[in-house]
Structure 1
Amino acid sequence: MSPVDHLLHLDRTLDELDPPRWATPAADATRLVRTVHELRRVPLGGLGAADLRTLVAQRVALPYVLPLAVRLLIEEPLLDACFYEGDLLLTAVNAPSSAWALLPEHAARLRAVITRLRGAEVADLPRGAAEELARFSAGAGPLG
């Protein structure tokens, strides 16, 4: 199945679409590890903005979660998913370029969203955000 076909499977989970299924985390696993494991068992259609931000930040099943993030960002580019306005956008643009290479149409859509942002909107984002957005828009991969 093509990674972009996932939108036809919003009733399926990452454990189903991105094998192998993950084992139950260890009893002493961190809260983040337990959360990511739990999110892999949620149908794609049930993942919210904060869930997507977490999965993208942790680089989990990116061919499936990045398109969902882009879908939200088209509607609301500076969505406050969890921590601050624009956090989902900045997390998405910092996903590995190898993941975006699998999703050229979604990358192009996100670039279009970024180019429509006004300077004042970008200025209100955290320090370095303008550079991260410009780097993504230019087709360059994340730093570091």
Structure 2
Amino acid sequence: MERSLQEIEGNDWGDPQPDATRLISTVLELRRRPIGTLEVEDLRILLGQQVGVEVLVPLALDRLEDDPLAEGDFYPGDLLVSVLRLPAEHWRGHPDQVRRMNDVIAAVPPEEVDRDLQGDISAFRSCMY
């Protein structure tokens, strides 16, 4: 938890170019932070960009198991949505994480499941079959 994604993956993506977007600069900076220091918003950003998925999904699931509607900077459940939207290939290769994700989904209070979240949940579940 003291190592960064950059250290774990053994791949330095370099510094942002002067004309880099805020998102690119943020991703490059977050890749250099120890993963144990990453906040919900940091996980949301990185997973939303599909960066460090293999390393970060277990951490995100830990957070979601504590609070299925963990909130970054946008809205309650924004981390959940980022994780639900990961590619089907990831989930197919990690049945243990699928089980954990299904438990997280089951823990979301029904009154918090709006049409958009229900669509993301349905898409996640359909990629398993």
- Does 2:123 match 1:135? yes
TM-score by length of 2: 0.91
- Does 2:91 match 1:103? no
The 3-state SS of whatever aligns with 1:128 is helix
**Alpha-carbon separation, structure 1, partners of 2:88 and 2:63:** 20
| 1:81-137 deviation digits (Å, cap 9, x = unpaired) | 1100111001100011122233321221011110232321213xxx4211211332x
Alignment identity in percent? Answer: 37
Quote the residue 2:48 is aligned against: 57
Alignment partner for residue 30 of structure 1, among 21, 32, 41?
A: 21
Give the counterpart letter for 1:120 in structure 2: E
Contact 2:64 2:80 in 1 (8 A): yes
Task: Give every structure 1 segment of 4 or more consecutive aligned residues whose post-TM-superposition deviation is greater than 4 Å.
Answer: none
5+ residue gaps, structure 2, are: none
Instruction: Report the RMSD for the aligned CA atoms in angstroms.
Output: 1.5
**Alpha-carbon separation, structure 2, partners of 1:20 and 1:103:** 23
- Does 2:75 match 1:87? no
- Does 2:33 match 1:42? yes
The 3-state SS of whatever aligns with 1:74 is helix
Give the total of aligned pairs: 128
5+ residue gaps, structure 1, are: 1-9
**Alpha-carbon separation, structure 2, partners of 1:18 and 1:103:** 19
